[in-house]
Amino acid sequence: MKDLPILYAPRQRGHLKKPKWIIILISLVSLFLVCTYVYPPQSFSACYIFSSHGCKALQSWLPPAPARELTDDEIASQVVIRDILNMASNMSANPKISFLFLTPGALPFEKLWDKFFQVIWGRISMVDAERRLLANALKDPDNQLFILLSDSCIPLRDFDYVYNYLMYTNTSFVDCFEDPGPHGSGRYSEHMLPEVEKKYFRKGAQWFTIKRKHALIIMADSLYHTKFRDYCRPGMDGRNCYSDEHYLPTFFHMIDPSGISNWSVTHVDWSEMKWNPKSYQSKDVTYELIRNLTSIVDSVHVTSDSKREIQIQPCMWNGRQRPCYLFARKFLPETLEKLLELFPKYTSI
């Protein structure tokens, strides 16, 4: 008996409810999103395929990345900082402003400052650090505000104007801006990690005007001060970093960004594009010069990169725009007589 041929009838494949390509595409997209979340893109990546706005648009609807675990020192530091920031203001019955002069010797403009204070003015003993100045000034519980000035600074307003401007606002006037150039973020060292990340690194003039709570925080801080002492200094990693330009701007940007103005009330002219600001000689000092300085209502910063980006922000005081500057530098000693002559005129502006 011959073997009968075996016949195979093709199976009739029914239509899939969902095409395979849709399932595959969804799987790939899901896998991509998971990878993007776990390994965030550092520069150009495939996220541009899915969004014309690039990675930022894609990350906006991703869940937030897990927070970095804080070190023990950070936790201790933040507890102290938080408690001081949350302390109720203990305004004394006789609130005073403490003027701190950082000077290598005698104060050239002592007579002018004496006219400004209209009292017998005693100079603060020579000190070599801002923190030591603050420590001494904090001994007086009536000192509610602290102003750091140099030996070349002059007052642009009378005492009452300065007192009211500074005392009746909750803001500390600390200069702070982001400079992506070599004289800004280019000075950052990764040795500051994990406590100080590069994205928080800021720059600003050292001439501050701060509230008592912020002065207490500066004195209480050891963690961040140590980071800048050790890793923001000339010659660090082949770059020159200056703590007086970066420590306080970065520190306050991290711990209380809404509590500072981001500009200094001390005017400095960097228009000559040199390592040092413009110095005013006797021939430069006129009523028009002082009036121009007191009329400035916008704070201007210029980045140090090739773009030379100009950053302009209005000087806001309790929600309204006001003149930015109460003091100015850098005036040479030879200008004293002219300033004494002009003081009654320009302080009545």
Q: What is the pLDDT of residue 169?
A: 94
List the domain boundaries for the chain.
Answer: 72-266
Q: What is the pLDDT of residue 253?
A: 98
**Integer angstrom CA distances of residue 185 from 190, 233, 246, 257:** 11, 14, 10, 18
Residue-wise pLDDT tens digits, 194-237 = 999 999 999 999 899 999 999 999 999 989 988 998 899 888 88
The radius of gyration of the chain's CA atoms, rounded to the nearest angstrom, is 29
| Integer Cα distance of 99 and 134 in angstroms | 10
Confidence of residue 299 (pLDDT cuts 50, 70, 90): very high
Pairing of strands 316-317, 209-211: unpaired
| Integer Cα distance of 306 and 338 in angstroms | 40
Question: What does the block give as tokens for 191?
Answer: 């040795």
Residue-wise pLDDT tens digits, 97-122 = 888 888 877 888 888 887 887 674 33
Question: What does the block give as tokens for 76?
Answer: 């201790």
